Amino acid sequence: MIPRPIVQFLPWIATGSLMALAWVGWKLRMAWAGLRAAQRAAQLERALREFGDLMRDADRPEVHAHELLQALTQLAGLPAAALLRPGCGTRDIVIGDPDANAIAGLQLCADGGRALGPGTAHHAGEPDLYLPLRGRDACYGAVTLRGLGDLVLPPDLLAHAQALCDQMGLALQRRCVQDEARQAGELAETQTTRNAMLAAISHDYRTPLATIMGSASALQTQGDRLSAAQRQELAGRIVDETARLVRLTDNTLQLARLGAPGVALRCDWESAEEIVGAALRRVRRRPDGGRVKARVADDLPLLWCDAALMSQLLDNLIDNALKYSPADAPVEVVARRIGGDALLAVRDRGPGIEPAWRERVFDAFQRGDLATFSQRPPGAGVGLAVCRAIALAHDGGLDLRPRGHGGCSFELWLPLRAAPELQEAPA
């Protein structure tokens, strides 16, 4: 039996025990709630960091808008839609399936750059939540969570959702700044090229025009007093300088055409022997054309190319070789097959090109180091630029290789394709 003095304290002991158990349970619940809150905060922080890494590495952040909407849908359990404004002249992008009211809300949110709807300080009575995609100094769109109604997102979830949206906004702003910088660089480069083209053309047109004008004027005013040989010489000057102007004009126009987007080539199956032969026939009309020799391999198949552009390329390379090599030095044109490519090379025995200039000579209006020449050779520095543009347009390449005993070899590489089989005509 329990002693009587102890019995009278049993209710107090029981009450104390219950209170202790309740206190311990409350502490456990508080600890569990704190643990759950810490876990959720860690999850939100990890999700924000992963999305931030994705946005930081994205060249086109708008393609990841679906990941943003998916993250917001998982966060709130509600359908989401977005309106993106990438800027730089591009149109607004609507993602999801918002109705007319939602689109109006997205536009209002994007224009104001502030959150709207439940739990915000603006239009709190609206059933949908709108969050802006904020950059540093502008807003680049908005997202909406549809059907929130009278519910309000907890402050931490609302802050997390806005942080995700801001990551997208900052990425869109970064892309816009990069696009503006690229456009400004392209505009400056275009302006520089235009100025250089005008300066080069005006300079290089002046000499042949003056020669043509002088020769024609002499024929007009003194033709009766000139001998037949003198008249023939003046007429020859006019023809040569006119051909030079035609080549300069063709190169300049071709360079502009090949630099335009979406250029279409007139390709067909062409014989390398015919292309090289036509170039030889043209160059043999020149006084110095006799020193150009050609070798075309018998096993070279048909080339899939634009014959007019290939002819212009060879004409430019041969003209350069004759212009920059001694008057008695031979110039070779070689066409042969190497593996799966066709090689067309024009080789000279000139002074060569310094290593620092071997890539720069393919840039427009660059003519290399002319210090080795006693007289500046004529030209505007567009021929090699046109040649490389023609090669690239054919999915090929044009390289400069120094020769062992002096001189240069300009080598065009064209990928070979399987030519179609010729079908015999029916008898």
CA 133: distance to chain centroid? Answer: 27
| Mean pLDDT confidence for 90-105 | 87
Gyration radius of the chain's alpha carbons: 39
Between the CA atoms of 152, 157, 160 and 164, what dihedral angle is there, to the nearest 10 degrees?
-70
Q: What pLDDT sits at residue 385?
A: 82
Q: CATH number, domain at 117?
A: 3.30.450.40
Give the H or E element holding residue 111: helix 100-112
Residue 20 lies in a domain: no
Residue 283 belongs to what domain range? Answer: 262-369+380-415
Question: 73 and 45: one domain?
Answer: yes
Q: Do 155 and 83 share a domain, yes or no?
A: yes
Q: Are 328 and 320 in contact (CB under 8 A)?
A: no
Based on the structure, what is the number of domains in the chain? 3
Cβ atoms of 255 and 389 within 8 Å: the answer is: yes
Residue 375 lies in a domain: no
- Which ranges of 223-329 would DSSP assign to H, the alpha helix? 228-258, 272-283, 307-323
Q: How confident is the model over 178-194, as pLDDT tens digits?
A: 888 888 887 787 677 66
Long-range contacts of 37-44 (CB under 8 A, 24+ apart): 40/156, 41/156, 44/156, 44/157, 44/160
98 and 160 share a domain? yes
pLDDT digits 0-9 by tens, 227-267:
888 888 888 888 877 877 777 777 667 666 666 666 678 88
State both tokens at 383: 């021929």
Instruction: Indicate the residue among 179, 208, 224 that finishes a domain.
Output: 179
- Last residue in a domain, options 179, 211, 236: 179
Average pLDDT over residues 390-419: 88
283 in Cβ contact with 317 (< 8 Å): no
Tokens standing for residue 28: 């456990």
Rounded distance between C-alpha atoms, residue 314 and residue 332, angstroms? 11
**Residue 109: is its pLDDT beyond 60?**
yes
pLDDT tens-digit series, residues 292-333: 999 999 889 999 998 888 888 898 899 889 988 888 899 999
Which among 146, 179, 212 is the end of a domain? 179
pLDDT at position 374 = 43
What is the Cα–Cα distance from 38 to 33, expressed in whole angstroms? 8
> What percentage of the chain has pLDDT greater than the value 70?
76
Q: What is the DSSP string of 175-188?
A: HHHHHHHHHHHHHH
Q: How confident is the model at residue 371 (pLDDT cuts 50, 70, 90)?
A: very low
Question: Are residues 271 and 406 located together in one domain of the fold?
Answer: yes
Average pLDDT, the chain: 80
> Which range is least confidently modeled, 128-132, 348-352, 354-358, 401-405?
354-358
Distances (CA, A) of 98 to 65, 101, 107, 113: 15, 8, 12, 19
pLDDT at 144: 92
H-state helical runs in 284-306 = none
Q: Cα separation of 391 and 301, whole Å?
A: 18
- Residues 288 and 158 placed together within one structural domain of the fold: no
Does one domain contain both 99 and 144? yes
